Structure 1
Amino acid sequence: MEFEHFIRPFDEPMLALSNAPHRGGLAKANGFFFMMVPRDYSGNYRRDCARFEEEHGIKNFVGFMTAADVKKVLAVSRRGSVTAYVTAGITNPAIAGDVPPPWKPGTINIALVIREGLAVGAMANAIMTATEAKTYTLLSLGYNATGTTSDGIGVFAFEGEIEWAGTATELGINIGKAVRKALAESLRKWERTRSVK
């Protein structure tokens, strides 16, 4: 099987805050990628993501991994200055605070590109708002879960003075709408991939 991936370069470097396996944390990024891996993947993710960058001729990208078919489940939604890129697979649903079920591959990855200048605290606030939107979407669609056991999230923005991105702000509202729409679409696509197997 030839894997499909998604690579999103930026026109100029952006500040990134993420829990991504490749260049996670706080960093400057030239873009991000969603890398598809086998369902039974147990490799060296640091080495494999570095090799991915080398093979694709990219550098200083933030990298996410998923066993979901990226080409089939990727969904993109834009609201105002916010664009949400989402890949969803939910074979391992979990509820925060509960003991998770036996591990199976499946990940919800959310990458938010915000074309505004944000303080680092606002980027953390954006992660919170996006996570609330993710959980609401899952519950409203009938999934008894707040996420999966291996979710990834990243926020990409310019350095600036905006301090807040919560649900009372215009930015936070746009984050919530973009995430809800993209995640719902990605989950519908993922369900279709399961029904044809």
Structure 2
Amino acid sequence: MGVLLEKNEDFIVGSFDKSFITISSSFYRGGYGRRNGFFILRVSKNFNKNPYVIASNFEKSNNLKNFVGFLTAVNLKDNLFYIDDKKFFVLITLGLGHICIPARSCKKSMTINIVILLKDNVNFACAMDLLNVAISTKVYSLMETGNGVGTPSDSFMISFNEKKEKQFCGFATLNGRELSKRILKLMNMAIKQWNK
């Protein structure tokens, strides 16, 4: 299981070596289904065009099929952080703006994108456990550094090969702790870079 990355300051394309079951909150090919990879496009800070059209045109012009699309306003050369090892592929892009506090409105500004590929075979419940671990760890890292719980447009994607080999993957499990360590490391690196 692997991801082939193509990246520069304006876009990232991550192509899977096969299709994976994917759950995503992204505006473009989000939801639930089999996906072949993802891309992240850099847009201007005052971007006000139709994001679906931008993503669709990029997908078609690069001969991509069933890729999840994300947007960001950050320079992807400086604000891309990822880990690719035997258990996980985890990628984060981070831009911080207005702090979001639960149950309060917050202005739209910047975004955090988190992409995860699980390399162990897991069942659906285990994958959802790990998604919960990832989001909880993201929130923890932000609150520890005084950045609220996120931004108004944070997006995630988690992909996996569904089999019943692993059924429990929360914080109490080795898989949960290992993913949390990776998310925390990348978030701390990204926040430090953003604050430079």
Shift of 1:74: 0.3
Could you list the runs of 5+ residues in structure 1 that have no partner in the other structure?
193-197
Aligned length: 188
The equivalent position to 2:168 in structure 1, one of 164, 172, 175, is 164
**What is the match of residue 137 of structure 1?**
141
Q: In the alignment, which residue of structure 2 is the partner of 1:72?
A: 78
Q: Out of 176, 188, 195, which is 1:191 matched to?
A: 195
Tell me the distance in 2 between the aligned counterparts of 1:14 and 1:154.
11
| Structure 1 residue 17, shift from structure 2 partner | 0.6
Distance 2:123 2:49 in 1: 35
Q: Which amino acid aligns with 2:94?
A: A
Q: Which segment drifts farther, 108-117 or 121-130?
A: 121-130
Map of 2:181 onto structure 1: 177
Alignment of 1:3-14 (within 5 A): 4-14=10-20
The one of 33, 38, 42 equivalent to 1:36 is 42
What is residue 25 of structure 1 aligned with on the other side?
A: 31
Distance apart, 1:165 and its partner CA = 2.2
Q: What is the rounded CA distance, in whole Å, between the counterparts of 1:138 and 1:77 in structure 2?
A: 19
Partners of 1:21 and 1:65 within 8 A in 2: no
2:95 aligned partner, one-letter code: G
Q: Which has more helix, going by share of residues?
A: 1
The one-letter code matched in structure 1 to 2:28 is: H
Moved more, 112-121 or 130-139: 112-121
- Structure 2: gaps spanning 5 or more residues: 1-7
| Structure ranking higher on relative contact order (CA contacts 8 Å, 6+ apart) | 1
Confirm whether residue 154 of structure 1 aligns to residue 160 of structure 2: no
Tell whether the 8 Å contact from 1:79 to 1:178 is kept in structure 2 after alignment: no
Paired position in structure 2 for 1:81? 87
The TM-score normalised by the length of structure 1 is: 0.89
**1:80–1:174 contact (8 Å) kept in structure 2:** no
Secondary structure class of the residue paired with 1:122: helix
Amino acid at match of 2:144: S
Find the aligned partners of 1:57 and 1:191 in 2 and give their Cα distance.
36
Q: Deviations over 1:133-152 (max 9, x none)?
A: 00111122232x01111100
For 2:122 and 2:53, how far apart are their aligned partners in 1?
31
Asked if the contact 1:84–1:178 (Cα under 8 Å) also holds between the matched residues in 2, the reply is yes
- In 2: Cα distance, 1:118 partner to 1:46 partner: 31
Alignment partner of 1:99 out of 82, 105, 122: 105
SS in 2 for 1:106: coil
- How far residue 3 of structure 1 moved from its aligned partner, in angstroms, is 5.7
Aligned to 1:108: 112
Determine what percentage of the aligned residue pairs are the same residue.
26
Q: Deviations over 1:159-179 (max 9, x none)?
A: 211323210111111111111
| Per-residue Cα deviation, 1:61-116 (whole angstroms, up to 9, x for no partner) | 1111111112210001246512210000011220222232x33x200110111112
Measured in 1, the distance between the counterparts of 2:167 and 2:101 equals 30
